[in-house]
Amino acid sequence: MRYSDAGVDISVADEAKRRIAAMAGKTFRRGVLAPIGGFGSVFQLDHSRWRDPVLVASCDGVGTKLKVAFATGIHSTVGADILNHCVDDILTQGAEPIFFLDYIAMGTLDPRVIEQVIEGMSRAAKQAGCSLIGGETAEMPDIYAPGEYDLAGFIVGAVERQKMLDPHRVRPGDVLLGLPSSGLHTNGYSLARKLVFGTAKLGPDSYVAEIGNKIGAELLKPHRPYWPLLKNVLGHEWVASMAHITGGGITENLPRVLPKNCSAIVEINSWPVLPIFEHLQAIGSVPDEEMLRTFNMGIGMILVVPAAKFKKAQTILDRCSEKGYTIGRVVKGDRKVIYQ
């Protein structure tokens, strides 16, 4: 018997890795010291640029949004999702994305699918100025169903120690500035899929007039990266802390960037809720509090800005043609979100 008789074809894996290396190489920035293919990936920080750098790392997955990719046959968006999600996670501590590694596991490797995933990932990496320097592509028969795979990402960034965002800088009176999301991003898909494909019995190609799009395409809108927009704002040290609104919504994520003696008042009518969320809520009569702790509801990132610096931060966003929403303020409390 051969390895291929057990379901693993090394020649197919080699072809997939060749395609990955070609696309990943186009994302390399100064500091990458080794090509794709080694046992370890190597990167050197530019010591002439960084004086007292702190490394910030994170890992995450795309979750059941992958099920929508399987149903539609569109895989490039989830490739962008995983990189953008990780970029936004380390951004909350003020970190610039430096390099990224991915993990893809399939029952039977399909180079065409992998190429789509890496193409989206590479495109997002170039937009963020982040190098895709390595990863793992695994063929695991009997673990994953035919046509399905899992996807995860690992990122490392850097920030000067004195510029690192810290909840201890937050004070009562600080302003909450919300930045729009592009859709569900990468969270809440188990509930969204149950509502759309189970309760409403829609197919991926079903057109929904209320949202002006096919439901599959709407659910696959990529997770928005905020680093290109916010790097100039962070450079001026006008932000005290920042919350990435992922799983748990505003309810669970905003308290993570508040000190123990502060709470946040959030005015729920201060930003436009995206039509996709209104549609999902209507399908299942989902209570408001459940929507707010499951989905981002149209706000993908919240900046906590000292009141004295708010106008300056807003001016920078205006120059970038970005609409930020004043959605609330920080008050004395015990790290809770109070909706009004």
Provide the CATH number for the domain around residue 81: 3.30.1330.10
Which residues of the chain form beta strands (DSSP E)? 53-61, 96-106, 131-139, 149-160, 175-180, 207-208, 213-214, 241-244, 262-266, 299-305, 325-332, 337-339
Looking at residue 258, the DSSP 8-state letter turns out to be: S
Q: Which two tokens stand for residue 159?
A: 């920030």
CA distances from 53 to 89, 166, 174 (A): 18, 15, 27
On whether both 123 and 215 belong to a single domain, the answer is: no
Whole-number pLDDT of residue 216 = 97
On whether both 134 and 181 belong to a single domain, the answer is: no
3-state secondary structure of 133: strand
Please tell me the distance from the alpha carbon of residue 297 to that of residue 292, in angstroms, as a whole number. 7
234-288 tens-digit pLDDT: 888 889 999 999 999 999 999 999 999 999 999 999 999 999 999 999 999 999 9
Whole-number pLDDT of residue 57 = 97
Whole-number pLDDT of residue 322 = 79
Whole-number pLDDT of residue 86 = 97
On whether both 29 and 155 belong to a single domain, the answer is: yes
At 174, give phi and psi (nearest 5°): -60, 150
Whole-number pLDDT of residue 305 = 95
Whole-number pLDDT of residue 40 = 85
Q: Evaluate whether 18 touches 115 at the Cβ level (below 8 Å).
A: no
3-state secondary structure of 218: helix
On whether both 321 and 194 belong to a single domain, the answer is: yes
On whether both 111 and 77 belong to a single domain, the answer is: yes
pTM above 0.85, yes or no: yes
Q: Which residues of the chain have pLDDT under 50?
A: none
Looking at 163, 197, 221, the residue that finishes a domain is 163
On whether both 111 and 189 belong to a single domain, the answer is: no
Looking at 142, 163, 184, the residue that finishes a domain is 163
The pairing of beta strand 131-139 with beta strand 96-106: parallel
On whether both 295 and 231 belong to a single domain, the answer is: yes
- H or E element at residue 5: none
At 72, give phi and psi (nearest 5°): -95, -20
What end-to-end distance do the CA atoms of the chain give, in Å?
A: 67
Q: Which two tokens stand for residue 96?
A: 């610039």
On whether both 206 and 125 belong to a single domain, the answer is: no
- Domain span including residue 332: 167-339
CATH number at residue 313: 3.90.650.10
Looking at 121, 144, 163, the residue that finishes a domain is 163
Looking at residue 156, the DSSP 8-state letter turns out to be: E
Please tell me the distance from the alpha carbon of residue 179 to that of residue 322, in angstroms, as a whole number. 8
On whether both 313 and 326 belong to a single domain, the answer is: yes
Tokens 């890795």 -> residue = 17
Please tell me the distance from the alpha carbon of residue 295 to that of residue 194, in angstroms, as a whole number. 14
On whether both 184 and 318 belong to a single domain, the answer is: yes
Whole-number pLDDT of residue 38 = 79
In total, how many domains does the chain have? 2
Tokens 């990189």 -> residue = 83
CB-CB neighbours of 229 under 10 Å: 18
On whether both 183 and 112 belong to a single domain, the answer is: no
Q: Which two tokens stand for residue 2?
A: 């051969």
At 245, give phi and psi (nearest 5°): -90, 95
The torsion angle over the Cα atoms of residues 315, 319, 321 and 327, rounded to 10 degrees, is -10
On whether both 56 and 205 belong to a single domain, the answer is: no
